Structure 1
Amino acid sequence: MRIVMVGLPGAGKGTQAAYLADNLSVPRISTGDMFRVNISRGTELGRRAQDYMRAGQLVPDEITIGMAKSRMDQSDTADGFLLDGFPRNEHQAEALDRLLKDNGVSLDAVLDLQIPREEAVRRVAGRRLCRTDDSHVFHMTYNPPRSAGLCDLCGGELYQRQDDTEHTVRSRLDVYDRATEPLIAYYRARNLLVRISALGPVAEITQRSMDALRQHSASDRPVS
């Protein structure tokens, strides 16, 4: 299957993308990973992206699209993939359609993980990372550390990322509304949108997603 995943910041896209990709036996392709790989390998696209990032500017769509094309051309995507973080807007979605058409394939579904806006704020603003290893993630409400301000796994100091503050999260939600909501309409019009609730235990959300994707693939109708 070829799937795009969308949803508000805090909806759990990264977590679900990893589980779903494993369940579907397809690679997860995340925007963050594409940027890290291209920058670390010093590719032309990576160097161009880094120039914009160092200048504090947004990376143009054309660079992101180029990275996505390069990644999707790799052999492990022959039977499908799960895109996490791309496309982010309608222009990128149109470019993705062209890339897939050139390869004689198309998207199977766009999975929209839905949570209430205030829940998105709570989830992101409550997140704390370990300075020693930022893969150690805690949440002040849902997964608090045993000792305040310290990582349970290594004892490192916990901190809040600058873009995880409540004010910044609300700004990110506004950006999502402007850029990504038109993307939702774009895919709804193409009968690709599959919407599920992303509330509840992780395993339940994964199963809910798998069931909805199977139902969608067996039907000509979108799942709402």
Structure 2
Amino acid sequence: MNIILFGAPGAGKGTQAERLVSERGMIQLSTGDMLRSAIASGSELGLRAKDIMDRGDLVSDDIMVGMIAERMDNDDSTSGYILDGFPRTVAQAEALDEMMASRGDEIAHVIEIKVDEAALFARIENRAKESAGNRSDDNAETLRNRLVVYHENTAPLLPFYQAKGKLRSINGMTSIEDVSSEINKILG
């Protein structure tokens, strides 16, 4: 079973993905990690991505989908994948659907973890205290910028997946355990 976790920055997607990896044996596919790994490996896709990034351009949808497909070819997961950081646009979602269909697969569920954005600022402050400032992105200004990017680029994907009947929304303002329980109910 393949899923996408959506939610504003700080909603708890990473925490829930870690739990799914641990409890269900799913594999988390982080596009940022994949780009760094592909570049380090010197693969054809990695070299193409590096050239594009060195020019300061964005890596194209076809390269990103190719990297996801390549990673799926290298991992033997019968439990499924959690997409993290992809897709970010409707064009990417459409390309992902085409790639998955060509493999006889699909995205089973898109789970939106809904949160009160005002409460996110308190979460970020707490996380900054807990990590003793070790994360440079744990501050209000960075969160504000990330929320703008999320609303402009990623949130428009929600109606796309809702129209396909794949979107499920859960309350992310409850405990980690309760959010995990709601995700597990969706996944069956």
TM over 0.5: yes
Given candidates 128, 138, 144, the residue that maps to 1:139 is 128
Question: Which runs of no fewer than 5 residues in structure 2 stay unpaired?
Answer: none
> 1:53 and 1:120 mapped to 2: Cα distance?
31
Match of 2:73 in 1: 73
Cα contact 1:29–1:81 (8 A) shared by 2: yes
Q: Deviations over 1:124-170 (max 9, x none)?
A: 4x26xxxxxxxxxx532xx3x6xxx5xxxxxxxx4451x44322321
AA at the equivalent of 2:175:
P
AA at the equivalent of 2:144:
R
- 1:181 has 2:171 as partner: no
- 1:194 has 2:168 as partner: yes
Structure 1 residues 67 and 165, CA gap change in structure 2 (3 angstroms): same
TM-score (structure 2 length as normaliser): 0.87
Greater gyration radius: 1
Cα contact 1:88–1:183 (8 A) shared by 2: yes
DSSP-derived class of the 2:76 partner = helix
> 2:42 and 2:150 mapped to 1: Cα distance?
30
Q: Deviations over 1:169-216 (max 9, x none)?
A: 2122111112112210000000001111122332222112112332xx
- 1:26 has 2:26 as partner: yes
Alignment of 1:1-224 (within 5 A): 1-124=1-124, 126=125, 138-140=127-129, 143=130, 149=132, 158-161=133-136, 163-214=137-188
Cα offset, 1:63, TM superposition: 2.1
> 1:14 and 1:187 mapped to 2: Cα distance?
21
AA at the equivalent of 1:10:
G
Q: Deviations over 1:54-112 (max 9, x none)?
A: 44443332221211111122351344212122111111110111011111122211111
Q: CA RMSD in A?
A: 2.2
Q: How many residues align?
A: 188
More helix by share: 2
TM-score (structure 1 length as normaliser): 0.74
Percent identity, aligned pairs only?
38
